[in-house]
Amino acid sequence: GENVEQHPSTLSVQEGDSAVIKCTYSDSASNYFPWYKQELGKRPQLIIDIRSNVGEKKDQRIAVTLNKTAKHFSLHITETQPEDSAVYFCAAAAGGFKTIFGAGTRLFVKA
């Protein structure tokens, strides 16, 4: 079955700097890669997603890249702000809607 690995587990950056979170997946059939943000005590919420027919997607300060050959995908947050502090999860889903999550990255943005 699918296995998603996520790094780093913790990331601390200065406000205004960029943050990068990387994930790898094992199932070559995976075709959908969402990223979720979970604030303390709240539910995970989708922030951006990418499908396997696209190599890169951007939404304001957030961008995701996907390398299908290497089976890895990344989240990039530019000009980080304190409100970006949260736990971020990558995920991968193959046919059949089974979404497997990475272990999460706790991002701290220092003001």
Partner 1 sequence: DAGVIQSPRHEVTEMGQEVTLRCKPISGHNSLFWYRQTMMRGLELLIYFNNNVPIDDSGMPEDRFSAKMPNASFSTLKIQPSEPRDSAVYFCASSIGQGTNTEAFFGQGTRLTVV
* 103 touching partner 1, by CB under 8 A: yes
Amino acid (one-letter) located at 13? V
Retrieve residue 20's tokens: 């990068």
Q: Is 96 left (phi over 0), alpha (psi -120 to 50) or beta?
A: left
Contact window for partner 1 (CB under 8 A) among 19-27, 38-46, 60-68, 78-86: 38-46
Q: Helix, strand or coil for residue 42?
A: coil
Q: Which of 25, 73, 88, 89 binds partner 1 (CB under 8 A)?
A: 89
Could you give the CA distance from residue 20 to residue 85 in angstroms, rounded to a whole number? 13
Q: Min. distance of Cβ 103 from partner 1 in angstroms?
A: 4
Q: Min. distance of Cβ 93 from partner 1 in angstroms?
A: 4
Could you give the CA distance from residue 17 to residue 109 in angstroms, rounded to a whole number? 9
Q: Min. distance of Cβ 14 from partner 1 in angstroms?
A: 26
Positions that interact with partner 1 (CB under 8 A)? 1, 31-32, 34, 42-46, 49, 89, 93-104
